[in-house]
Amino acid sequence: MNISSQLRPAITIFALLTALTGLLYPAFVTGIAQGLFPSKANGSVIVADGKVVGSELIGQNFTEPRYFWGRPSATGSMPYNGGASGGSNLGPTNQALFETVKARVAALKAADPGNTAPIPVDLVTASASGLDPEISPEAAAYQIGRVAKARNLSVPDVEALVAASTTGKQWGLFGEARVNVLKLNLALDALGQ
**32 and 83 housed in the same domain:** no
pLDDT confidence bin for 162, thresholds 50/70/90: very high
86 and 49, same domain (yes or no): yes
- What mean pLDDT, rounded, does the chain reach? 88
Judgement on whether residues 147 and 102 belong to the same structural domain of the protein: yes
Same domain, residue pair 56 and 110: yes
pLDDT tens-place string over residues 124-144 = 988 888 788 999 999 999 999
Are 119 and 32 found together in one domain? no
**What is the tally of structural domains in the chain?**
2
Query: Of 82, 85, 65, which Cα lies nearest the Cα of 74?
Result: 85
By residue range, what is the domain housing residue 11? 3-38
Q: How confident is the model over 55-61, as a mean pLDDT?
A: 86
Q: Tell whether 140 and 62 lie within a shared domain.
A: yes
In terms of Cβ atoms closer than 10 Å to its own Cβ (0-12, 13-18, 19+), residue 49 is exposed
pLDDT number for residue 190: 87
Query: Same structural domain for residues 18 and 58?
Result: no
- Mean pLDDT of the region 178-193: 88
Predicted pLDDT of residue 21: 95
pTM over the 0.75 mark: yes
**Statement to judge: residues 54 and 143 lie in one domain:** yes
What pLDDT is attached to residue 60?
87
pLDDT at 193: 64
Beta bridge partner(s), residue 55 = 45, 58
